[in-house]
Structure 1
Amino acid sequence: MEQQNTTRFSNRVDDYVTYRPGYPGEIVGFLEKQYGLSSGNLLADVGSGTGISSELFLKNGYRVIGVEPNKEMREKSQDLLGSEPRFTAVDGTAEHTGLATGSIDALIAGQAFHWFDRDKTRQEFTRILKPGGLVALIWNERLTTSAFEQEYDQLIIRHGKDYVQVDHRNIDLDKIEAFFSPAAVTLTVFPNHQDFDFNGLEGRLLSSSYMPAKNEPGYMAMSADLKALFDRYQQNGRIRINYDTKVFAGRWV
């Protein structure tokens, strides 16, 4: 990952922990049933951030090494998950994890793969995975089906600094199939959502690296537009954001 990408969340750790969506628990059972994953396996969570995706597997008895280059996010994951003896956080990138060759049974990446250098990452995954190891790339993809969701997306485009350039939806199925090739990859989708009051909705927006933070130019205009949008669509003081949680998974060759 480029240096800018490894530091861009440093001032958003608290919002990230509080307001980012988790992942449906059904993902673990799916990977166990379809790919034979078991709690005896050692997982590496690459780009583990504050530990959202690591926690999903820790809850199900897995040992997880969180690989995260951002100091602030890595330290937050240690604060949140450090009492769990099956969790270890290490300083590393997708391209240079620092993990031992052939040591990992499965690799996961939650909301992170779009930051990776795909060619270098493929070489590193091949090095650290055991033969036939599992790779699962996971994203919460925000939907734009309701009128609120469509206007919210336009607000992000209008106020975001580089949203269009860094949006994970720029990584399409063709790119992911090329990354897994010659192995096969499957896409499975799980429903997910978050319900927010206005403060929660603003916190969710501020957790994104491409939006102006509270101490940055553009924040006041963004917040005012968000409040007007919330007031227009809220019901009983709440608003819902819907997601498709996409899981691209396959055995590595």
Structure 2
Amino acid sequence: MGREFLDLFEEWAETYDATVTGVDPQYRAVFANYNEILNEVASASGGTVLEFGVGTGNLTEKLLDSGYEVIGIEPSQAMREIALEKFPELPLLEGDFLTFPEIKSADTIVSTYAFHHLTDSEKEIAVRQFSKILSSNGKVVFGDTMFESVAVKDKIIKQAYDRGFTNLAEDLEREYYPTLDVMRNIFTTHNYDVTFKQMNEFVWLVTAKKQ
């Protein structure tokens, strides 16, 4: 999932769980309602769930607690080690949104805070691959940072710089955060019905049902 960011994932492994609790003021708004976001993704899931970007296993825990069969995909070795310490029986495979071991089928594909590591063209390739994996009437459920428009994104970046949140601002400029229209077009092009629900200033819940 954007292997160019793999070093960043490795660095985040030890601090990620603390960051999502809001200890870093720069990212507090990004992770606002974090537990609710995970719960929403889990409650919208069903059947066999394929999770991309398992990270430290926070969403995985919600999925397993809901009784789903979960298959995990994670590119970072450090993240995989942490997740496997929590869930040693979890089928956790090395891979990313574009390159991963063969998965025969899944009923739901989920991810949180990860899809933005792909360029828009890579996002489209990933969604095309999802269609081959998903069962009939399967769905994709993502919680991720995206913006209503480029103007909104630019405004939030400026606000981050004005507040002295340089790391956040640079992240927003460097990574591939899409607009809602871009995400809608990618999914509808591949025959999904897609809906959006805003979870905080940055994160939207995307539910795309395969037609």
SS in 2 for 1:127: helix
Task: Check 1:70–1:162 CA distance in 2 against 1; reply closer, same or farther (3 A cut).
Answer: same
Higher alpha-carbon Rg: 1
Matched residue, 2:2: 2
CA distance in 1, matches of 2:55, 2:195: 25
1:45-98 Cα deviation digits (max 9, x unpaired): 11221112222212222221111111111111111222xx4x321101101221
Across the aligned residues of Structure 1 and Structure 2, the Cα RMSD in angstroms comes to: 3.0
Q: Tell me by how many angstroms 1:153 deviates.
A: 6.9
Matched residue, 1:91: 94
Matched residue, 1:176: 183
Q: How does 1:1-253 map to 2 (within 5 A)?
A: 1-20=1-20, 21=31, 22-24=34-36, 26-27=39-40, 31=44, 37-38=45-46, 41-82=47-88, 85=89, 87-101=90-104, 103-116=105-118, 117-139=122-144, 154-157=163-166, 161-166=170-175, 168=177, 171-181=178-188, 182-190=191-199, 245-253=203-211
Task: Check 1:157–1:97 CA distance in 2 against 1; reply closer, same or farther (3 A cut).
Answer: same
CA distance in 2, matches of 1:189, 1:47: 21
CA distance in 1, matches of 2:62, 2:203: 13
Task: Check 1:27–1:152 CA distance in 2 against 1; reply closer, same or farther (3 A cut).
Answer: farther
| Corresponding letter in the other structure for 2:73 | V
CA distance in 2, matches of 1:111, 1:176: 15
| Corresponding letter in the other structure for 2:9 | F
Q: Tell me by how many angstroms 1:113 deviates.
A: 0.8
Aligned pair count reads 185
SS in 1 for 2:101: coil
- Percent identical pairs in the alignment equals 22
Q: What are structure 2's unaligned runs of at least 5 residues?
A: 21-30, 147-158
* Contact 1:136-1:249 at 8 Å conserved across structures: yes
CA distance in 2, matches of 1:104, 1:52: 20
* Contact 1:186-1:248 at 8 Å conserved across structures: yes
CA distance in 2, matches of 1:50, 1:122: 24
Q: What are structure 1's unaligned runs of at least 5 residues?
A: 32-36, 142-149, 192-242
* Contact 1:185-1:248 at 8 Å conserved across structures: yes
* Contact 1:47-1:112 at 8 Å conserved across structures: yes
Q: Tell me by how many angstroms 1:136 deviates.
A: 0.7
* Contact 2:41-2:141 at 8 Å conserved across structures: no
CA distance in 1, matches of 2:73, 2:135: 17
* TM-score normalized with structure 1 length: 0.63
Q: Tell me by how many angstroms 1:160 deviates.
A: 5.6
* TM-score normalized with structure 2 length: 0.74
